Amino acid sequence: MNDMSKDKNIDIQIYNFAYLDENTKRMIRRALLKALCIPGYQVPFSSREMPMPYGWGTGGIQVTSACLIPKDVLKVIDQGADDTTNAVSIRKFFQKTANVAVTEKTSDASLIQTRHRIPETKLKEQQILVYQVPIPEPLRFLEPRETETRKMHALSEYGLMFVKLYEDIAKHGHIETAYAYPVKTNGNYVTDPSPIPKFDNPKMNNNPAIQLFGAGREQRIYAIPPYTNVKSLDFEDYPFEAMKANFKCSICGSSDSYLDEIIVSDDGKRSYICSDTDYCKEQTQLNSKEEDQ
């Protein structure tokens, strides 16, 4: 037996499948089922200590842990990329503790954990998208009291949410909120979509996949079941717009995917590339195929 496999054996002995113990997973699954029954409603759950700091997406990791089964194919992205430190660590964590197959291809994944993006490739039925959420309460910035925000949700008192958009327009001439743009789920609960760019908001609407949200530090889980109406809040005279930088990806040439701005030379020259690395690769391949023909 070589050293590698010895280590692996030890891991499997030490950790339950996907790290969390079965009782904890059952508790989280109950919260998830409740969340799916009441789309957009924040279900409290007793978040566990995870072997990583909160900023690393412990809420999402616990949700993923509770959902994973051995035949799952896992994809992990951070800001759309599979190769950032955060994504690599989480992917390794589940390879080590659950020994599941992993992929970078959106269409091959059965479960995708994400921070700050929704993949460009359309999701399908049978897929699960798990969002890492820092602050689950969309009213928090305006109303610090939890007792009040709960009541506001319960009674659909969302005037205050529009005050935030009003303030944006008053200050900037347009709705400046570009990330974590609030949505109304199933015509009922106002929901924080996590800090995804508002460009991604329309992808949440009527999506065939299951969307699950986990906030570790704040101990909340919420969900959007497949094919649920998700509407971004707006004013009649300032309608919602899914905006992105008006450029083409300098790698694949795509003009309809969300772009990251990067500085490419010492003198500050800028360039734009797809934030979704898998989508960019796919587009590049498609392009070269077309050239071959």
Task: List the catalytic residues.
Answer: 40, 249, 252, 274, 280
Give buried/exposed letters for 148-169 (b at 16+ CB in 10 A, else e): ebeebbeeeebebbeebbeeee
Q: Least distance (Å) from Zn ion to the CB of residue 265?
A: 19
**Binding status of residue 14 toward other proteins by CB under 8 A:** no
Looking at the DSSP assignment, which residues form a beta bridge with residue 78? 81, 115
- What is the three-class DSSP state of 25? helix
236: partner contacted, choices other proteins, Zn ion, none (Cβ within 5-8 A by kind): other proteins
292's contact among Zn ion, other proteins, none, with CB below 5 to 8 A by partner kind, is none
Closer CB to other proteins, 1 or 155, in the complex: 155
Q: Which residues, 6 or more positions from 212, have their beta carbon under 8 angstroms from its beta carbon?
A: 32, 35, 63, 67, 128, 129, 130, 131, 221, 222, 223
DSSP letter for each residue of 187-204: TTEEE---S-BGGGHHHH
- Residue 235 contacts other proteins per CB under 8 A: yes
Task: Select from other proteins, Zn ion, none the partner in contact with residue 235, using the beta carbon and a kind-dependent cut-off of 5 to 8 Å.
Answer: other proteins
Binder to other proteins among 71, 171, 269, 289 (CB under 8 A)? 171
- Minimum Å gap between C-beta 159 and other proteins is 3
Q: In the complex with Zn ion, which residue's Cβ is closer, 126 or 255?
A: 255
Nearest C-alpha neighbor of 244 from the set 158, 140, 118: 118
> Interface with other proteins includes 169 (CB under 8 A)?
yes
- Number of amino acids touching other proteins (CB under 8 A): 18
Q: Looking at 21-29, 218-226, 231-239, 272-280, which segment touches other proteins (CB under 8 A)?
A: 231-239
1 binds other proteins (CB under 8 A): no
**Distance separating alpha carbons of residues 128 and 116, to the nearest angstrom:** 16
For the chain, how far is it from start to end, CA to CA, in angstroms?
50
201: left (phi over 0), alpha (psi -120 to 50) or beta: alpha
Rounded Cα gap, residues 261 and 270, in angstroms: 7
Site map 221..250 versus Zn ion, x via CB under 5 A: ----------------------------x-
Q: Which residues bind other proteins (CB under 8 A)?
A: 142, 154-155, 157-160, 162-163, 166-167, 169-171, 235-238
